[in-house]
Structure formats: structure tokens, C-alpha cells
Amino acid sequence: MLPILPSNEQSPFDSIRRIRPDGSEYWSAREVQPLMGYPRWQDFQRPIERALATARNTGMDTAEHFRGSPENSSARVGRPRKDFELTRGAAYLVAMNGDPNKNEVAAAQLYFAERTRQAELAHSPFMVPSTFAGALELAARQARELESVRAENTDLVATNAKLSPKARVADQYEANPGITPTVFHKAHFPGVGERDFFEHLYRKDYLLDQRNTRWDDRKQEWKDGTEHAHPTAKGKRYFYLAPRLDRNGVRRQQTLVIPGEAELDLVAALERDGLPSRNRPALPGADVVELSQQRRIGGVR
């Protein structure tokens, strides 16, 4: 596990820093990946995609900062794997979009932030002190600036962690993100009609019901509300919102069933409500749950 603050020794990120013939520096995404605590390239693609979206939204030249290139490794044979040549700014964006719960990601955030600050200081003009007292004053000022940068970056990491609850929830289920409510219905309650199944989720407040609640002036029609089918306070025991990027790089939210015990608990809860499941069909003479067939039209039930 990497230390949060770089020590006086060379950082692991320094050791993988590369220099092009024109003198520009870059980092291989494949080499950054394990240092940020991501054992699999498939998992590391998520912060890269988020960083690309951020770069596009801020006007960065993604082709320059995220140069696509095949992995250059003599140890591999056959077809080269995809890689990116990341500039310092691109690597910083990837670090800022990584899992804030990973200590390695925090170390990467601080490293690239300090590298950026050091580069800014290196390009700023200053007078070389001609006296011993002047040298001491310069050293003290630089120490204060470095300490200020470290404190600022620590606060930035903490703020990023607080402002990224959705990302943390999604990263928590990277290996098994869960299934959609539609897939859940087909897997566990195939004997219940899909419309009746979702009517039950809405009526029991597992999901928000915002069908036909906002008017679209352009299309002159009623549309579902922006939070339609999001989990309610009760539904958050079983559902969560997983952020994802659409084909245009816009962040969206998708409702998924929390995998593991929460999914089994949801099955049991719906069975207690009276829905016949695949493993517990309705018994002869048992009470049948009453499902509302009413739909909300024009914002009114």
C-alpha cells in the first residue's frame, strides 16, 4: 500500500515517468494502473472514462493528453493491448476520478498535484539570493508554500471523497454491480406480470413513481419525472444508483439491485408482501396480493 504523502525517497510514479524525444513527459496508463490499486485493466477503465469526460467538458485536447497507444512490453507476445500515454494533467484527472477509498488513489492525487505545483514554481521567475540570509528566507518561503500545497491537496482529497458518494457506491460493487429491477423481476418473480410487478414496487414505496409527471413543451407530451424509478428511503435497503457514462460521455444514473444479501432480502420482502416467487409459488387457497392497475395520466392518478 502506497503512503498517502510522498516521502523524501523517489515516488513510484517518478520511476515510471517517461520522456519523449521532444522532452515532454508522460505516464503509461498500464503502469499507473497497479500503483493506483487497480489489479485489473477492466476496472481501471472506469476512472479513465470519467477523466476523459471531465477533460472534454473543460475543453482539454483529449487526443494530446490521452494519446492512445499499444502497450509496449517485450514480455508479451501476440496482439498488443490498449494503452494511453497520459500527460501530467491527464494522470491527475485519472487519479481524481479514482476510488477515493483506495489509499493508493489518494497517494496518486497528491503526487500529481505536487508535480503540477512544482512545475509552476519552476517556470516562475525569481532572483537567486546573493546572501546567506536571503537563501534562508527563500528556503523558508518554499517550505511554507510546499506545506500549504500539501495541506490544500489533503483537503482536496477529503472533499473529493465527500462529494463522490455515488462513485464510492459504484466502486463498492465493481466486481458484481448487481442487476436491474427488470432482470430481478424475470429472475425471481416470472409468474407476476411485469406491469403488475412494478406497480407493486411503486405502491409499496420501494421505487419512486413519477410516471407522466412533467410536461415536455417541445414534444407536447407528458414524460416521466427525472427521478422516476429511483430508490426511495425504503428502497435504499435494496436498491442503489449506479453512475454510468452514456455514449456522449454524459453522466447518467441507473437503478440496480444491491448484490448479495440485499437481493435475497428483497426477494423475501416481496414474498411477505404476497408476490409468488420462482422458489415459492402461490399455494392453493392463499391470499393473492391486490395489485393496482391504475396508471398516472397527466400527473394525476
List the chain domain ranges.
Answer: 12-164, 181-273
Give me the mean pLDDT over the 153-157 stretch.
64
Helical packing angle, 194-203 and 181-188, nearest 10°:
120
Percentage of residues in the chain with pLDDT exceeding 90? 25
- pLDDT beyond 50 at 60: yes
pLDDT at 11: 81
| 164-187 tens-digit pLDDT | 454 555 556 666 778 889 899 998
Q: Residue 99: is it exposed, middle or buried by C-beta count within 10 angstroms (0-12/13-18/19+)? A: buried
* Confidence band, pLDDT 50/70/90 cuts, at residue 149: low
| 282-301 tens-digit pLDDT | 655 554 454 444 444 334 33
How many angstroms separate the CA atoms of 106 and 167, rounded?
Answer: 15
- Here the cell at position 246 is 452514456
Helical packing angle, 41-57 and 165-172, nearest 10°:
160
pTM of the full predicted structure? 0.42
| 260-270 tens-digit pLDDT | 888 999 999 99
pLDDT at 102: 86
> 159-163, 238-242, 289-293: which range is least confident on average?
289-293
pLDDT at 3: 40
| Cβ-based neighbours of 203, under 8 Å, separated by 6 or more | 209, 291, 292
Give me the mean pLDDT over the 233-260 stretch.
81
- pLDDT beyond 50 at 75: no
173 to each of 100, 178, 179, 188, 236, how far by Cα in Å?
14, 7, 11, 21, 15
- pLDDT beyond 60 at 259: yes
